[in-house]
Amino acid sequence: MESLRVLELYSGIGGMHYALKNTGISGHVVAAIDINTTANEVYRHNFPETPLWNRTIEGISLDEFNKLHFNMILMSPPCQPFTRQYFVEMLRKCGYTYQEVMLSPTSIGIPNSRLRYFLMAKISRDTMFSKIKESDTSMLPAETESSEAPSLSRPQQPVSSMIRQEEKEGYCVLYKLETANDALKKINQNNDSSVKQIQDFLEPQGNLEMEQYLVPSKILMRYALILDIVQPNCRRSICFTKGYGRYVEGTGSVLQSCLETEIETVFKNLDQFSQEEKLQQLQGLKLRYFTPREVANIMGFPESFSFPEEISIKQRYKILGNSLNVLVVSTLLRQLIFNC
């Protein structure tokens, strides 16, 4: 196989570069291009030998591109200028064959829902590269990120009675005021043994300055009922976005650190407590945010990946939320290259 000379567009913090390395394919990133100064600091910190251009691709001439002599482009572009319809039409006009796929990290055993659109394309002399088959469940999303739960045969019950029944059966379930369908979906996710547990991605507790990651009291009091709470032995978490740590709903899960306190007991009668008692009950769970390192672990970044010290925790969450799952991309790269 010809050695790959890769151009990395919208390189971010280097997720695509790590994905390429993870495949074991012989390749060299000839240049990385991005205009996000914070992301560029992180990229340069981890890949100091790679030429990094702080420029827009619109401002780079065709001659400059040609001088790089690349034979592969990896890119994670912003949505606005790259609509799927415009992009696919251009690929057809330029003679590319392509395949589109929706994948989530849960498809490859990672306990995080991050359903994303991916496109693989190549110029082929004779035939289209081998397609991902519908029967290949390892390459298909295990769930969608909609509010609809999968089809279930068990009857619908009040949430509280349903969860008490599930606890007797030994399942990992979190008690919250939610619909029965929502709770059942989480039960199914936590019972999927093909997915790793959250604890496999956590930092050693002794290494953490716990206080800075605890969910603040004002957040507990106002938003406790909409927090997505997971425990170390769970096999699910929701997508970590750039708003993690700043906003609450839909930005990422929080971790219950104190397992001696039963979450059902806390939430079951929460509205019957005074404000002070309510706060004490919630604080007893020791709910905390995942650290940036833990989010990076879940997103498939290797242990060697790190942040420059001057990058704040808020900035780390933001650029991680804008990144992609390294292991999902490396899986697709292998599919593209080895099954051509």
End-to-end CA distance of the chain: 11
Q: What angle do CA 254, 281, 255 make, to 5 degrees?
A: 15
Q: Report which residue type is found at 263.
A: I
Spatial separation of the C-alpha atoms in residues 144 and 150, rounded to whole Å:
9
Catalytic residue among 79, 234, 239, 340: 79
Q: Which residues contact 116 (CB under 8 A, 6 or more apart)?
A: 102, 103, 104, 324, 325, 328
Spatial separation of the C-alpha atoms in residues 334 and 142, rounded to whole Å:
20
Spatial separation of the C-alpha atoms in residues 77 and 58, rounded to whole Å:
13
Distance set, CA 14 to CA 5, 43, 74, 201 (Å): 16, 6, 11, 20
Tokens representing 10 are: 């919208």
Give yes or no for a contact between 175 and 263, defined as CB atoms under 8 angstroms apart: yes
Give yes or no for a contact between 111 and 237, defined as CB atoms under 8 angstroms apart: yes
Q: Is 79 a catalytic residue?
A: yes
Spatial separation of the C-alpha atoms in residues 116 and 144, rounded to whole Å:
10
Please identify every residue annotated as catalytic: 79
